Structure 1
């Protein structure tokens, strides 16, 4: 097991995953929630989320959300 895997996810990481698991009706409400609930920019949110998708601790914490978002990311990358 890698050393970083021994440490739990941070509260911010958990909050990012929880927000990513929610359904929004467009980018506006999500961006507003990111700013209000996490206190960061949408760009910073997506950077953190993208890194979390490759973190085995995030997969262990919320496999449904992480696998769904990984699949969506793979589709976007394939379309480039």
Structure 2
């Protein structure tokens, strides 16, 4: 058995930029920052909340992000899908 292969990260995880990895780390523990999440996003990443969520949504669809932190990405995908269902139901006037 090749122990070096078992210890190293999958090659797909290396495709993430430092900023992308920092965004995933922030999502994993954003509640540790005082104040609002939007303010923490501005302070840490120097981008608007809207732009941050655009980047995050792109990351959730990136296989490299899934390889980097599968549990977090799957959890965020579930939250996104749930919110999309709720928005669709509100638009259609249905109960969720």
Could you tell me the TM-score, scaled by structure 1's length? 0.81
2-side partners of 1:12 and 1:23: how far apart? 15
Unaligned runs of 5+ in 2: 1-11, 89-96
Q: Does 1:37 align with 2:44?
A: yes
Could you tell me the TM-score, scaled by structure 2's length? 0.69
1-side partners of 2:67 and 2:13: how far apart? 12
Q: Secondary structure at the match of 1:24?
A: helix
1-side partners of 2:19 and 2:52: how far apart? 10
Q: Secondary structure at the match of 1:66?
A: helix
Q: How does 1:49-64 map to 2 (within 5 A)?
A: 49-64=56-71
Larger radius of gyration: 2
The aligned length equals 74
Alignment check: 8 A CA contact 2:13 2:67 kept? no
